[in-house]
């Protein structure tokens, strides 16, 4: 995901729409189904030594990639594959853990600043599928 973000940003700065479209295709067809489960979790990150820190990092990069690719269609932050995987599903999975760090099994230690900023940006974006952070929390999507 990090390589895709770098490629998307360089292509955006160079006004290279061919590369931006290729990165977006790779995100939709390879990265999203390969890294995000249908429940919104990042299974490979959950299997690592610091699962939630790695999940937060991966989500942050995913949100930045979608932001970098804005202007393409379908809208990257709003995109969901046939199984519902997308930025929104990842935010729905992670947000409860960020909202209440004490919830869960006790092994979840979170550094929330980066993810909360990413969720806030996703929720406040005009093109975002979210209308507000409260809507995301309440499940009235």
Domain definitions of the chain by residue range: 2-138
- Which residues, 6 or more positions from 101, have their beta carbon under 8 angstroms from its beta carbon? 108, 109, 110, 112
Q: Is the dihedral of CA 34, 47, 7, 63 positive or negative?
A: positive
The rounded percent of the chain whose pLDDT value lies above 70 is 71
Query: What kind of fold does domain 2-138 have according to CATH?
Result: Glycosyltransferase (1.50.10)
- DSSP-derived letter for residue 76 is G
Confidence of residue 127 (pLDDT cuts 50, 70, 90): very low
Give CA angle at 80 (44, 70), nearest 5°: 100
49-108 confidence digits (pLDDT tens): 999 899 999 999 999 999 999 999 999 999 999 999 999 999 999 998 888 765 554 344
């Amino acid at each position: 995901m990090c390589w895709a973000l770098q490629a998307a940003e360089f292509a955006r700065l160079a006004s290279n729409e061919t590369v931006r479209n290729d990165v977006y295709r790779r995100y939709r067809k390879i990265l999203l189904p390969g890294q995000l489960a249908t429940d919104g979790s990042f299974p490979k990150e959950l299997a690592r030594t610091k699962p939630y820190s790695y999940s937060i990092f991966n989500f942050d990069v995913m949100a930045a990639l979608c932001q970098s690719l804005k202007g393409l269609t379908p809208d990257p932050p709003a995109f969901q594959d046939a199984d519902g995987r997308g930025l929104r599903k990842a935010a729905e999975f992670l947000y409860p853990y960020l909202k209440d760090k004490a919830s869960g099994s006790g092994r979840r230690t979170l550094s929330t600043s980066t993810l909360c900023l990413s969720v806030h940006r996703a929720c406040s974006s005009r093109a975002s599928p979210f209308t507000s952070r409260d809507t995301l929390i309440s499940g009235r999507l």
